[in-house]
């Protein structure tokens, strides 16, 4: 087993800003085939959050040759009353054919490092379903630490699901 200080070699990916030319690609990420069992929610359209309440961003994940393979989002959430207590929360969607190759871990590591470099925050968080073993492995490879379970936090598939919370600190 590797030590927390050991950084695993991952493939190269780039993150870039979203542009108007990405509209069709972003729409393709919202299909049931791409969302899969972990990101498909059964809310009625009027119950879905619009994203207007988020203060965050979104990037396209690209291979070195410029091929888009997914997207990453981030927002800040408070853990106290001051700005230093804001933590980044990240999310990722990858096209199915690009999963299992380390691209997600590389993108998550890269974004976590950039968010910490560009802010006073000490923490980047991500969560995943307790049964989503692939994402748990990806977050671990990206340098995140499993902190434990957030019980009954996610409504999906007609039932409440537990989530695992992962974090990466400035000192990691």
The Cα 130–Cα 150 span in angstroms is 9
Q: The CATH number of the domain where 79 resides is what?
A: 3.40.630.30
Lowest mean pLDDT among 43-47, 107-111, 161-165: 43-47
Q: Is residue 145 in some structural domain? A: yes
Q: Is residue 3 in some structural domain? A: no
**Helix H or strand E segment including 106:** helix 103-117
Q: Is residue 143 in some structural domain? A: yes
pLDDT digits (tens, 9 = 90+) for 93-144: 999 999 999 999 999 999 999 999 999 999 999 999 999 999 999 999 999 9
98: containing domain: 14-169
Count of structural domains within the chain: 1
DSSP character string of 8-74: PP----EEEE--GGGHHHHHHTTSHHHHTTTS-----GGGS--STT--EEEEEEE-TTS-EEEEEEE
63 and 13 Cβ atoms separated by less than 8 Å: yes
Residues above pLDDT 90, as percent of the chain: 72
pLDDT digits (tens, 9 = 90+) for 47-73: 555 554 455 789 999 999 999 999 999
> How far is CA 124 from each of CA 34, 139, 142, rounded to the nearest angstrom?
25, 11, 11
- Nearest-CA neighbor of 103 among 138, 78, 133, 137? 138
Q: Is residue 9 in some structural domain? A: no
Q: Look at residue 1 in the predicted model and tell me its pLDDT.
A: 43
Q: Is residue 4 in some structural domain? A: no
Q: Is residue 62 in some structural domain? A: yes
């Amino acid at each position: 087993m590797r030590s927390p200080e050991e950084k695993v070699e991952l493939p190269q990916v780039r993150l870039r800003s979203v542009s108007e030319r990405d509209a069709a690609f972003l729409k393709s990420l919202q299909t049931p085939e791409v969302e899969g069992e972990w990101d498909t929610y059964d809310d009625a359209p009027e119950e879905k959050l619009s994203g207007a309440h988020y203060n965050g961003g979104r990037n396209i994940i690209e291979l070195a040759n410029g091929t888009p393979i997914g997207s990453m989002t981030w927002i800040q959430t408070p853990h106290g009353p001051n700005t230093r207590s804001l933590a980044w929360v990240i999310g990722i969607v990858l096209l199915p054919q690009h999963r299992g190759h380390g691209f997600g871990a590389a993108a998550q590591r890269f974004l976590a490092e950039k968010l910490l470099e560009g802010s006073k925050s000490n923490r980047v968080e991500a969560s995943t379903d307790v049964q989503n073993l692939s994402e748990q492995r990806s977050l671990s490879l990206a340098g995140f630490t499993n902190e434990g379970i957030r019980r009954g936090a996610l409504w999906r598939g007609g039932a409440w699901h537990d989530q695992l919370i992962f974090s990466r600190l400035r000192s990691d």
